[in-house]
Structure 1
Amino acid sequence: METLLLDSGDVDENARMADVVRAVEDAFEAYERGNAQMPPKSYIDLPQYNGDFRSMPSYLDAGDWDAAGVKWVNVHPDNPADHGLPTVLGTMIYSDPETAFPLAIMDGTTLTMKRTGAAAAVATDYLAVEDATSLGIVGAGVQSYTQLEAISEVRPIEEVVVSDLDEERIERFVDAFGDRFDVRSGSISEAGHCDVLSTVTPVEEPIVGPDDVGERTHVNAIGADAAGKHELADDLLVAATIVIDDHAQCTHSGEVNVPYAEGVLTDGDIYGEIGQLVVGDLAGRTDETGVTVFDSTGLAIQDVAAAHVVYEQARKNDAGYEFGMIDPGRQ
């Protein structure tokens, strides 16, 4: 039995977004029903390199399939300028739960972008207005691309407004999608007055206030992935219907972490977890719902779900490189 090695191109080609969105929704359901194991994300801080490592193991039973794996990922903000490397690098080990055999080792960077976009799409499907046709994006980095790719799977997006301080990044984004969508640059407020808004910045001082969003805008708060990060103003959060992916992670390192630590937000201000919407224990958007916020920190079960899609599709397409990492004769 051989292990499949999948590089970033293989992951990109075999992570069909519609399939990843469905798999991530299945993962949220499994987690909510208690059919998943996901220890807390662990961190190794490396201040001498202005970075950190994170390990994210999980197992989930989605009914028709089950899967296990671990992602080893980092955040090193100085990488692009100092080393010509991405800020985030990841490696995913995807294993057979029955035997623990490593079925695949795959690029986790592309996988992370895909599953993060997919999580926002799941939340958008439950919390955005049904006839949403416009998407605003604050932050035109690499994650912005999969936000649009994924959200357009669940809503008929036509207009896209992207806001970023870097005009070159906006130009690259427009060039990438201008033939499929009506894409233009705009202010944060213009982006926020779209039907759906995704914020994908690393800021620690809020940049989106209550006047920057529409009365029924759904916001996917993606950028906060460490303690101290904070994209949305406190008064916006207090007034919104807040849905989180995981209580422990969100209160430690998600969009709500700063106001939660300061006592501005409490558990009573959090409507629920996304899994509760998926299984039907909580209602999604209703006619009375105003601004909604999805606090997405990124869960290990999402990585395993996305890796499942990639592995199964890669096998069908004869993609990747097989190698004998384990010698079955040595027991």
Structure 2
Amino acid sequence: MSHHEVDFNYYSQEHLLNAGCFDMRLIIEVVEKTLLDFEKGSIMFPEKIVQIFDEKTQNRINCLPATMLDEKICGVKWVSVFPENPRKFDVQNLSAIFVLSEIERGFPVAVMDGTLASNMRVGAVGAVAAKHLAIKDAETIGFIGAGEQAKMHLLAMKVVRPTLKVCRVTALTAAEEQGFIDQLSPILPDMEFIAANGDIRLAMEGADILVTATGAQAPLLKAEWVKPGAFYSHVGGWEDEYAVASLCDKIVCDDWETVKHRTQTVSRMYKEGLIDDRDVHADLHELVSGDKPGRESDDERIYFDAVGLSFLDVAIALTMFKRAKEAGEGISLELQHEMIFEHADIASKVRL
């Protein structure tokens, strides 16, 4: 090996799955630990870069960096979200890739699939919120949306609320609803699944936990369906009428300072002067650390909004990298064998 050779490991989604990285309990623990690390200041969390190519569809590619200072790892997630993909092309709407680099010399150590980690992070963050904000004996969960993030939400919610026994789901088509049920019922054989056949009210009304995970930019969830004691996990941009947030006793965000500048329902309400900073009870890390209380009564309606925090993605990617490397999965690739002008035949390769 050349003294100046630079190698990194490559991990496909299949490598990560084979290594046992689809471990929801592990990822929930990573989210909790990383939120505490963020609170103590050991994480660098710059602004993400967003490129929206179509305002109507919200087709976009985002660049999300973060650094784990204790781990001495800097990472970036390059993620595309194209909401119409399932309908137009019969493919997923989200795809992502990670690059992880060590910060002693600045060289990459891993390039890896980010779709698994991204979708698991969405579910795990919702579950950490539910751990503090949902009623202890929650039995019924309702979904608007039947995509990958909805599926991850159900798996994660079941970890923190094992009492869940009925899942109602609605989506744009009956085929999407049935696909959700067909894929998840073998994983959760003790759960009763109900396809709402496009009836949003049937899916959501009276549920202990409500989840909206769609690409819609419209107020689908109605306040009248949110019963006392309900916990609502808002995943997308604008999926509920303003009255839902107004009705709730607590509003909690993954990070309010980030949320307020986005296009979530509560972000729109903030920009229109309908709510202000005082109306937001807590950020999620404050619940995990115990700085602020979670649910304080069985009758509280609680609203949770997550815009997505890149440092959680990078922390999850780092955890998956370690597990996959230990399991012997992945492929070692050479970035360079030697420095540019060390190549013996460099003179023949230069074009002037």
Q: TM-score, normalised by structure 2?
A: 0.85
Counterpart-to-counterpart distance in 2, 1:255 and 1:66: 36
Answer with 28-37 or 146-155: which moved more: 28-37
C-alpha distance 134-252 of structure 1, shift in aligned 2 (>3 A) = same
Counterpart-to-counterpart distance in 1, 2:113 and 2:65: 15
User: Could you tell me whether the CA contact under 8 Å between 1:234 and 1:264 is conserved in 2?
Assistant: no
TM superposition shift of 1:276: 0.8
Answer with 187-196 or 203-212: which moved more: 187-196
Residue pairs, 1:226-245, within 5 angstroms: 230-240=238-248, 241-245=250-254
User: Could you tell me whether the CA contact under 8 Å between 1:190 and 1:212 is conserved in 2?
Assistant: no
The aligned residue for residue 176 of structure 2 is 169
TM superposition shift of 1:198: 1.3
SS in 2 for 1:325: strand
C-alpha distance 78-215 of structure 1, shift in aligned 2 (>3 A) = closer
TM superposition shift of 1:270: 0.9
Equivalent position to 1:14, from 9, 17, 21: 21
Residue pairs, 1:169-188, within 5 angstroms: 169-179=176-186, 180=189, 181-186=191-196, 187-188=199-200
C-alpha distance 151-327 of structure 1, shift in aligned 2 (>3 A) = farther
Equivalent position to 1:212, from 220, 225, 239: 225
SS in 2 for 1:322: strand
Equivalent position to 2:66, from 36, 51, 58: 58
SS in 2 for 1:14: coil
Counterpart-to-counterpart distance in 2, 1:190 and 1:18: 30
SS in 2 for 1:171: helix
Counterpart-to-counterpart distance in 1, 2:178 and 2:323: 33
User: Could you tell me whether the CA contact under 8 Å between 2:256 and 2:280 is conserved in 1?
Assistant: no
Asked if 1:139 is matched to 2:145, the reply is yes
Answer with 114-123 or 312-321: which moved more: 312-321
Asked if 1:86 is matched to 2:92, the reply is yes
Q: Deviations over 1:6-48 (max 9, x none)?
A: 1122234423111111101112112222221111111123239
Counterpart-to-counterpart distance in 2, 1:66 and 1:216: 42
TM superposition shift of 1:302: 1.3
Counterpart-to-counterpart distance in 1, 2:90 and 2:208: 36
Answer with 247-256 or 275-284: which moved more: 247-256
Q: Deviations over 1:103-125 (max 9, x none)?
A: 21111122210111111111111
RMSD: 2.2
TM superposition shift of 1:66: 5.5
Equivalent position to 2:214, from 179, 192, 201: 201
C-alpha distance 188-41 of structure 1, shift in aligned 2 (>3 A) = same
TM superposition shift of 1:87: 2.2
The aligned residue for residue 295 of structure 1 is 305
Residue pairs, 1:16-165, within 5 angstroms: 16-47=23-54, 51-61=59-69, 65=71, 67-80=73-86, 85-156=91-162, 157-165=164-172
The one-letter code sitting in structure 1 at the alignment partner of 2:94 is: V
The one-letter code sitting in structure 2 at the alignment partner of 1:195 is: D
Q: 5+ unaligned residues in a row in structure 2: which ranges?
A: 1-5, 343-352
TM superposition shift of 1:154: 0.9
Q: 5+ unaligned residues in a row in structure 1: which ranges?
A: 225-229
User: Could you tell me whether the CA contact under 8 Å between 2:229 and 2:298 is conserved in 1?
Assistant: no
Answer with 114-123 or 320-329: which moved more: 320-329
TM superposition shift of 1:288: 6.0
Asked if 1:321 is matched to 2:331, the reply is yes
Counterpart-to-counterpart distance in 2, 1:66 and 1:289: 44
Counterpart-to-counterpart distance in 2, 1:219 and 1:327: 52
TM superposition shift of 1:59: 1.4
User: Could you tell me whether the CA contact under 8 Å between 1:139 and 1:200 is conserved in 2?
Assistant: yes
Q: Deviations over 1:144-180 (max 9, x none)?
A: 1111111111111221111223100111111122242
Percent identity for Structure 1 against Structure 2? 27
User: Could you tell me whether the CA contact under 8 Å between 1:17 and 1:118 is conserved in 2?
Assistant: yes
Larger Rg computed on CA atoms: 2
Counterpart-to-counterpart distance in 2, 1:214 and 1:238: 14
Counterpart-to-counterpart distance in 2, 1:146 and 1:80: 17
Asked if 1:246 is matched to 2:226, the reply is no
The aligned residue for residue 10 of structure 2 is 5
Counterpart-to-counterpart distance in 1, 2:84 and 2:243: 32
Counterpart-to-counterpart distance in 1, 2:258 and 2:216: 18
Answer with 45-54 or 156-165: which moved more: 45-54
Answer with 158-167 or 49-58: which moved more: 49-58
User: Could you tell me whether the CA contact under 8 Å between 1:245 and 1:298 is conserved in 2?
Assistant: yes
TM superposition shift of 1:82: 5.1
The one-letter code sitting in structure 2 at the alignment partner of 1:189 is: R
SS in 2 for 1:122: helix
User: Could you tell me whether the CA contact under 8 Å between 1:4 and 1:103 is conserved in 2?
Assistant: yes
Q: TM-score, normalised by structure 1?
A: 0.90
Q: Deviations over 1:224-265 (max 9, x none)?
A: 2xxxxx112111102211111122321122331211111112
